[in-house]
Chains A and B, each alone.
Chain A
Amino acid sequence: MPSIETCVRAMITAGTSLSTAGIPDARVMHGFRLQDTILPAVTFEVAQDEYMSIGSAPLRMASVELRVIASTTTAALSFESTIRNLIVTGTFDTIVVSAVDFVGRYVEPPVVADGDETEPAQLVCNFTVYYKD
């Protein structure tokens, strides 16, 4: 069944630009990625979803946080333009996205430490999706 989560995943994996850039669709996951799986990868979460208008088919707004996880800051940042170009209006998994707003992004640098204390870099992108079911 289509949901805002499947819609966002379909938006990010639309076409071949992300896989061509180095992240195949199988590495685009909702919520989390397993430790020790191949990098780079993308995870995303819908943090908030609310009604914007009255009516039987109301406009809805969803706040999305997307993380590009890569071994270095430079590698994570290299996906920024690709991600920005993928966040567009259109119909994804039958859900009509009428407007999108790239709110901003920041970078969490990698943590260099011993063993499992090591953490990869993350490019965190926040965007808002306006859609109708």
Chain B
Amino acid sequence: MALNSALSSFSFGGTVVAEVGTASIAMDRAPLESTAIGSKTKTFIVGVGGATANLEIFYDQASAAHTTIENNLNTGSAAVACVLTLDTGQTYTGNAFVTSFEVTAQAGNLVRANVGLQFTNAAGTANILTIA
């Protein structure tokens, strides 16, 4: 069944971020090559996984969540819980800190900010994110 993204939300540190135009999470696990000398074909083992998130928000300093995100980068604060919740309540959960925050004011458009987030796992956690 397809899901309607109009009813999704993204929370940062327990606060739902207002005016999110786009929220995306990207997981990756680059393979590690283990090809032996003399082998004619490459072999790989499962690599180390990670995840990043990206938000495009309609920026407003009057929005508490927007300034919280901005200050996370500005002050070098620790990772906080981030949750992408889809229409049906399905979630992607992890701890992330802000790695980039770019505000753009363009003629004939709303002020937008692009936010980059890096997920970091707690020690001993097997999965990149909690998907439920």
Interface residues of A (CB under 8 A from B): 51-56, 58-59, 99, 101, 103, 130
Contact = CB atoms under 8 A, between A and B. Distances in A.
A52 B65 CA distance: 18
Contact of A51 (B6, B9, B10, B18): B6
Contact of A54 (B9, B108, B109, B110): B9
A77 to B, nearest CB: 22
Contacts of B7: 54-56
A56 B9 CA distance: 8
Contacts of A56: 7, 9
A53 B20 contact: yes
A78 to B, nearest CB: 26
B34 to A, nearest CB: 41
A55 B8 contact: yes
A52 B58 contact: yes
Contacts of A99: 110
Interface residues of B, number: 17
A21 B5 CA distance: 45
Interface string B64-87: 000000000000000000000000
A55 B16 contact: yes
B5 to A, nearest CB: 5
Contacts of B9: 54-56
A54 B4 CA distance: 9
A110 to B, nearest CB: 30
Nearest to A102: B108
Nearest to B107: A101
A99 B60 CA distance: 11
A-B pairs, top 3 by smallest CB distance, nearest first, are A54-B8, A53-B19, A55-B9
Interface in B1-36: 5-10, 16, 18-23
Nearest to B10: A54
Central interface residue in A53, A54, A58, by most chain B CB within 10 Å: A54
Interface string B47-65: 0000000000010000000
Contacts of B110: 52, 99, 130
Contact of A58 (B6, B22, B109): B6
22 contacts: A51-B6, A52-B19, A52-B58, A52-B110, A53-B19, A53-B20, A54-B8, A54-B10, A54-B20, A54-B22, A54-B23, A55-B7, A55-B8, A55-B9, A55-B16, A55-B20, A56-B9, A58-B6, A59-B58, A101-B108, A103-B108, A130-B110
